[in-house]
Structure 1
Amino acid sequence: MFEQNLAAPDVTADVLVVGGGINGVGIARDLAGRGWRVVLCEQDDLASHTSSASTKLIHGGLRYLEYREFGLVRKALQEREVLLRSAPHIMWPLRFVLPHDASMRPAWMIRLGLWLYDHLAQREFLPGSHGVALQHSALGRPLQPGWRCGFVYSDGWVDDARLVVLCAQDAQRHGATILTRTRCERLQAHADGWRAELQSRDAHTGQATAQTRVRARCVVNAAGPWAEHLLRQVMAVPPQGSVQPASSGRLRLVKGSHIVVRKLFEHDHAYIFQGQDRRIIFAIPYEDDFTLVGTTDVEHHDDPGRVAISEDEVQYLCHELGRYLAQPITPADVVWAYAGVRPLLDDASGNAAAVTRDYQLQTHTAPAPWLTVWGGKLTTFRVLSEQAAGQVGALLGEQRPDWTASATLPGGDLGQAMGQPAQPGRAHRQWAQWLQARHPGLNPALLNRWARSYGSAALDLLDGVRHTADLGAEVAPGLHERELRHLMTHEWARTADDVLWRRSKLGLHLDSAGREAVARWLTSVRPQ
């Protein structure tokens, strides 16, 4: 599936969705599954901004209880197991260790907060919280001896960029047209809806290629940090229309940055630390050999597309970890870093870390039907999309039933693929073992990565494959032509960054020569 050529004078759709982050693809998926004709355009690659720069957690947000955001926490907790069941190959449970700092708050307050966290929403397979004596546990070994007690609780982990791709795939399977590297240049209201001018660009050169005109009955603005720009500069909504979040008056852009270092501990739990400024720092097992550390909360006033971690942020994360770890890290230990801009509802919080992560959906019927998504967080994308699809249906004059709560994402039907029940919370390990037993002639490390990345779709990649030679040339260690062609054909990948940092994290495992080899191969076979 190379760039789709929509060269006809007009492409007619019910809904045009602008934005290929998690909210945009989630809404496109939900609408297409309800039978609406959907076109989605994204100016860059899928998940190339905010949605690939998260802390990669499916969580209720324990710290939001302190800000009394009980509704947001409950909504997120209700979604945890729904999401974990929908794509168990890229999402699974994760246990968190919270060392107790008596100078911050008493132990009884932590216990009360964790009791609420355990009971605000039903849990079917995630274990509840409990205390732990760190000085007598393997969980305490990486920590300084002064940390003597703590707590353990459950949340989940997700490969955020792959989640976006899976939603886009599911949207396409239900009939949606997905246009990546296609910017919405103009939106003009007409009596029967909107006329949109879309401009596609070459992934390697940036040169303009196809121009597409779309006629849509309704527009969904899921542009994230660019939501206000789309309304004011592209849509040119009349000034009398309210084009800002009703609760605040403006969108607040907050940069969150993360660092990746070599593995800091051997067990499979993550840590949640509280900084001296009361911000939360996570240290999470990552890509087998690494630890992911983050995040920061820094006001961002520049172009959302131009964002990078600062030296001060790196120093801050290293310093805060130094309060807890027996072997502190320094900026020299950082092997990779990333940053993203979160578009948050401005709730007048002075502290950027305290700004709400809830969302608001805003609909209008004039000058033509449109909906804007303000704010949001990764964990609540599905329920946000469900609510947005319902509101779009109301704008279009027809309500169609919900469907995503019990649906799996592409590759998520592991039990059906194995012909045996998938164990909740352990299905990803069960699937990897099944796949390795089925293909004993292939590298177990490769099969384990494919099991986690593609789920049951790995069977398509392995169709007709008996030996490593059947995978084609090894372009870089562990990355063969067969997989690269799959990523181009089925996952919209075009550049080395698409492959190495979003569809996978192989960029962490390859040296510069390997990364350059992937870039050369993709350039040599790019669609004409």
Structure 2
Amino acid sequence: MTQNSQDRTIPKRATVVVVGGGINGISVFRDLALQGIDVVLLEQRDFCSGASAALSRMVHGGLRYLENGEFRLVRQSLQERDFLLRNAPHYVFPLPTLVPIFDAFNGSMASLKRFIGLGSGPSRRSAVMIKIGLMLYDWLSRKSRTMPAHQFVSRTKLRAMAPDLSRDAKFGAIYYDAWVKYPERLGVEMILDTQEACPNASAHSYVGVEKVDGGELHWRDALTGERGTITPDLVVNATGAWVDFTNLALSGGRENDTPRFVRGTKGSHLMIRNDQLANALGDQMVYYENADGRICIAFNYLGVSLVGSTDILIDDPELARCEESEKDYMLGALRFVFPDIKIARDDIVHVFTGVRPLPVSDADATGRISRDHSHREQEANDKRDFPVISLIGGKWTTFRVFGEEIADVILKRLGRKRVCDTRRLKIGGGRDFPNSESDLDDWIGAELIDLSVDRSTLERLAERYGSKALDIARFCQIAPDGPLAAAQTYSRREIEYLILNEKVRSLSDILLRRTGIGLEGGITQNLIEEIGALMSGVLGWSETELDHHKQLLREELGKKHSIV
């Protein structure tokens, strides 16, 4: 595979074309392919490079959504969380969560008003309302629960557990949700699994849809300039915050025929390297309110501390970046809950921003806009010979069930029956991967018998790739290998394997999505040069092509991650 070719050719026709390769588009693609539908996925950038790469890394039911009365969403999200814990044990893990509580009763009335639709913006929550919320949370997850129920702790116990927390916290609550280590990798693994199992399915990155002409979609490869057409029976618009922009292209440019479905809100996160903060967080997430009542989170992730997030209306997702005011807000929220920890701006090693594709709403506060998912169906017209189904909203946690629901809509249209479901379908490196530390230790010991790599190397690969570590270890041992000079925990052959086998087409694919190097704050000019040389060797880039990719990376790092 070179820059000038995808690993599969884009066909001239398909029953379904999914436009948008975020986690929801990938889920629809996977589900349809498993039902025997010939389906093509087109993504204008890399897979899972938009909002699907910018989540808070939480796999959760959405405790605060109870305040909006979204019980169905919370129940469904908790069930999907538990499915993911079983189906992706290499990337999804339980997350003990500590909630500092500052008031026993104050704030109860404001919460009740929000629940019945009379309140608007955020406000502080009382111990009473948090207790009720956590009891509901436990009850809604009772059938699929894989983790302990919540518990309240006294001020004394809270001080012992988290001595750096604000002294104003009167109580604490502990409950369990989950977190995902590599959400972008999980999406790519689903694509690779699907293509392996379903020869009639193909997914293509850096391919954008430019226009529609009758029954033909016109596409263009952003990296090569290659153009072509594909004729679908039906199109799924899964472009997230770009849904309305995509529908305009799919309408033949007739703006009056494209109703607005989505209103985005921007969520930014900080990656902070600060030993005092890391020690204060330990192995739990702190789920806390800022002084204005907005919910924030902080937990240790990939060797640094992840802090988030903001929730700001934005009309054009292309303009989304973490502004200085957002950094100030999140650092201020940290000071509110950890007043004695000194965090400097220089401690921020990476930022990332995504746009949540929420439904158009007249709610007077972003927190009141539903996080549930839905879809809209638009039939063929005189400019377009096929119907379009647009995906709206959706949490990362619920991608599986959202994909299933959309696949069922399409199967009904096609007069086809469902032949399987994905509730118990293991994903990528989650197949045959141990579910406990003791089992993992035994698994590594058994697999080392047939490998020449040492134990620490296989442990490191297993942390990154689950059971896929075995394929990578075998690849690494069949030719000379060694650590990258600029990122010594990664090896040259490891990176070559990812380039050859995981649909890598640009420098940012490796540095920001197939590995955790970017989030760890490890991108340096020396590393860019080293990875660039490796990719040029594998993909056959010319010096001009390499320079072009370096420029694309610099633009992405500056715009989306505040790295110059």
Q: State if a TM-score over 0.5 links the two structures.
A: yes
**How far did 1:310 drift?**
0.5
Give the counterpart letter for 2:243 in structure 1. A
For residue 162 of structure 2, the aligned residue among 137, 140, 145 is 140
Once residues 475 and 322 of structure 2 are traced to their aligned partners in structure 1, the CA distance between those partners, rounded to angstroms, is 44
Once residues 169 and 12 of structure 1 are traced to their aligned partners in structure 2, the CA distance between those partners, rounded to angstroms, is 21
Superposed CA offset, 1:493-520 (max 9, x none)? 2333211221111232535122432233
Superposed CA offset, 1:66-113 (max 9, x none)? 111112111111211111111110111111000012053332221111
Q: How many residues align?
A: 501
User: Residue 52 of structure 1 corresponds to which residue in structure 2?
Assistant: 53
Give the counterpart letter for 1:197 in structure 2. H
**Is 1:282 equivalent to 2:304 in the alignment?**
no
Kept in 2: contact 1:369–1:395 (CA 8 A):
no
For residue 227 of structure 1, the aligned residue among 209, 230, 243 is 243
Superposed CA offset, 1:117-136 (max 9, x none)? 01113234211111123543
Give the counterpart letter for 2:217 in structure 1. A
Give the counterpart letter for 1:478 in structure 2. T
User: Residue 162 of structure 1 corresponds to which residue in structure 2?
Assistant: 185
Give the counterpart letter for 1:48 in structure 2. S
User: Residue 215 of structure 1 corresponds to which residue in structure 2?
Assistant: 231
User: Residue 481 of structure 1 corresponds to which residue in structure 2?
Assistant: 492
Kept in 2: contact 1:411–1:457 (CA 8 A):
yes
Superposed CA offset, 1:135-174 (max 9, x none)? 4355312313332420011111012211211221122122
User: Residue 419 of structure 1 corresponds to which residue in structure 2?
Assistant: none
Give the counterpart letter for 1:180 in structure 2. S
- What TM-score do you get using the length of structure 1 for normalisation? 0.88
Superposed CA offset, 1:263-319 (max 9, x none)? 5234211110111222110001100x21100010111133x2332101000000010
**Is 1:83 equivalent to 2:106 in the alignment?**
no
User: Residue 336 of structure 1 corresponds to which residue in structure 2?
Assistant: 350
Once residues 390 and 348 of structure 1 are traced to their aligned partners in structure 2, the CA distance between those partners, rounded to angstroms, is 30
User: Residue 195 of structure 1 corresponds to which residue in structure 2?
Assistant: 216
Query: Are residues 309 and 414 of structure 1, via their aligned partners in 2, closer, same or farther at CA, if it must alter by over 3 Å?
Result: same
Q: Which moved more, 1:269-278 or 1:448-457?
A: 448-457
User: Residue 32 of structure 1 corresponds to which residue in structure 2?
Assistant: 33
Give the counterpart letter for 1:520 in structure 2. A
Once residues 7 and 230 of structure 2 are traced to their aligned partners in structure 1, the CA distance between those partners, rounded to angstroms, is 13
Query: Are residues 230 and 464 of structure 1, via their aligned partners in 2, closer, same or farther at CA, if it must alter by over 3 Å?
Result: closer
For residue 321 of structure 1, the aligned residue among 322, 325, 334 is 334
Once residues 444 and 58 of structure 1 are traced to their aligned partners in structure 2, the CA distance between those partners, rounded to angstroms, is 30
Once residues 46 and 502 of structure 1 are traced to their aligned partners in structure 2, the CA distance between those partners, rounded to angstroms, is 9
Give the counterpart letter for 2:136 in structure 1. L
Once residues 474 and 347 of structure 1 are traced to their aligned partners in structure 2, the CA distance between those partners, rounded to angstroms, is 49
User: Residue 175 of structure 2 corresponds to which residue in structure 1?
Assistant: 153
Larger helix proportion, structure 1 or 2? 2
SS at match of 1:404: coil
Query: Are residues 323 and 399 of structure 1, via their aligned partners in 2, closer, same or farther at CA, if it must alter by over 3 Å?
Result: same
**Is 1:404 equivalent to 2:422 in the alignment?**
yes
User: Residue 374 of structure 2 corresponds to which residue in structure 1?
Assistant: 360
**How far did 1:5 drift?**
7.0
Once residues 523 and 488 of structure 2 are traced to their aligned partners in structure 1, the CA distance between those partners, rounded to angstroms, is 10
Alignment of 1:388-403 (within 5 A): 388-403=406-421
SS at match of 1:115: helix
**How far did 1:349 drift?**
1.5
Query: Are residues 408 and 5 of structure 1, via their aligned partners in 2, closer, same or farther at CA, if it must alter by over 3 Å?
Result: closer
Give the counterpart letter for 2:130 in structure 1. I
Give the counterpart letter for 1:117 in structure 2. Y
Once residues 46 and 6 of structure 1 are traced to their aligned partners in structure 2, the CA distance between those partners, rounded to angstroms, is 15
Give the counterpart letter for 2:168 in structure 1. G
User: Residue 127 of structure 1 corresponds to which residue in structure 2?
Assistant: 148
Query: Are residues 449 and 132 of structure 1, via their aligned partners in 2, closer, same or farther at CA, if it must alter by over 3 Å?
Result: farther
**How far did 1:366 drift?**
2.4
User: Residue 546 of structure 2 corresponds to which residue in structure 1?
Assistant: none
User: Residue 521 of structure 1 corresponds to which residue in structure 2?
Assistant: 534
Once residues 443 and 346 of structure 2 are traced to their aligned partners in structure 1, the CA distance between those partners, rounded to angstroms, is 40
User: Residue 474 of structure 2 corresponds to which residue in structure 1?
Assistant: 463
Once residues 393 and 445 of structure 1 are traced to their aligned partners in structure 2, the CA distance between those partners, rounded to angstroms, is 47
Kept in 1: contact 2:98–2:286 (CA 8 A):
yes
**How far did 1:432 drift?**
6.2
Kept in 2: contact 1:283–1:291 (CA 8 A):
yes
Q: Which moved more, 1:150-159 or 1:121-130?
A: 121-130
Kept in 1: contact 2:483–2:491 (CA 8 A):
yes
Query: Are residues 444 and 250 of structure 1, via their aligned partners in 2, closer, same or farther at CA, if it must alter by over 3 Å?
Result: same
Once residues 215 and 488 of structure 1 are traced to their aligned partners in structure 2, the CA distance between those partners, rounded to angstroms, is 30
**How far did 1:386 drift?**
0.2
Kept in 1: contact 2:453–2:473 (CA 8 A):
no
SS at match of 1:145: coil
User: Residue 114 of structure 1 corresponds to which residue in structure 2?
Assistant: 134
Kept in 2: contact 1:315–1:331 (CA 8 A):
no
User: Residue 255 of structure 1 corresponds to which residue in structure 2?
Assistant: 266
SS at match of 1:165: helix
Once residues 445 and 334 of structure 1 are traced to their aligned partners in structure 2, the CA distance between those partners, rounded to angstroms, is 30
SS at match of 2:15: strand
Q: Which runs of 5+ in 1 are unaligned?
A: 416-421
Give the counterpart letter for 2:299 in structure 1. I
Once residues 441 and 46 of structure 2 are traced to their aligned partners in structure 1, the CA distance between those partners, rounded to angstroms, is 29
SS at match of 1:97: strand
**How far did 1:472 drift?**
5.3
**How far did 1:239 drift?**
7.1
Query: Are residues 487 and 466 of structure 1, via their aligned partners in 2, closer, same or farther at CA, if it must alter by over 3 Å?
Result: closer
User: Residue 70 of structure 2 corresponds to which residue in structure 1?
Assistant: 69
Give the counterpart letter for 2:206 in structure 1. R
Superposed CA offset, 1:223-278 (max 9, x none)? 1111111111233386786x54xxxx541111100001125234211110111222
Query: Are residues 464 and 381 of structure 1, via their aligned partners in 2, closer, same or farther at CA, if it must alter by over 3 Å?
Result: closer
Give the counterpart letter for 1:273 in structure 2. Y
Once residues 128 and 271 of structure 2 are traced to their aligned partners in structure 1, the CA distance between those partners, rounded to angstroms, is 33
Give the counterpart letter for 2:149 in structure 1. G
**How far did 1:479 drift?**
2.1
Kept in 2: contact 1:21–1:48 (CA 8 A):
yes
SS at match of 2:511: helix
Once residues 237 and 402 of structure 1 are traced to their aligned partners in structure 2, the CA distance between those partners, rounded to angstroms, is 38
Give the counterpart letter for 1:113 in structure 2. G
Once residues 342 and 86 of structure 1 are traced to their aligned partners in structure 2, the CA distance between those partners, rounded to angstroms, is 25
Give the counterpart letter for 2:101 in structure 1. H
Q: Which moved more, 1:214-223 or 1:347-356?
A: 347-356
Once residues 153 and 273 of structure 1 are traced to their aligned partners in structure 2, the CA distance between those partners, rounded to angstroms, is 13
Once residues 73 and 188 of structure 1 are traced to their aligned partners in structure 2, the CA distance between those partners, rounded to angstroms, is 41
Once residues 250 and 403 of structure 1 are traced to their aligned partners in structure 2, the CA distance between those partners, rounded to angstroms, is 29
Once residues 7 and 168 of structure 1 are traced to their aligned partners in structure 2, the CA distance between those partners, rounded to angstroms, is 15
Kept in 2: contact 1:29–1:167 (CA 8 A):
yes
Kept in 2: contact 1:134–1:140 (CA 8 A):
no
Q: Which moved more, 1:37-46 or 1:431-440?
A: 431-440
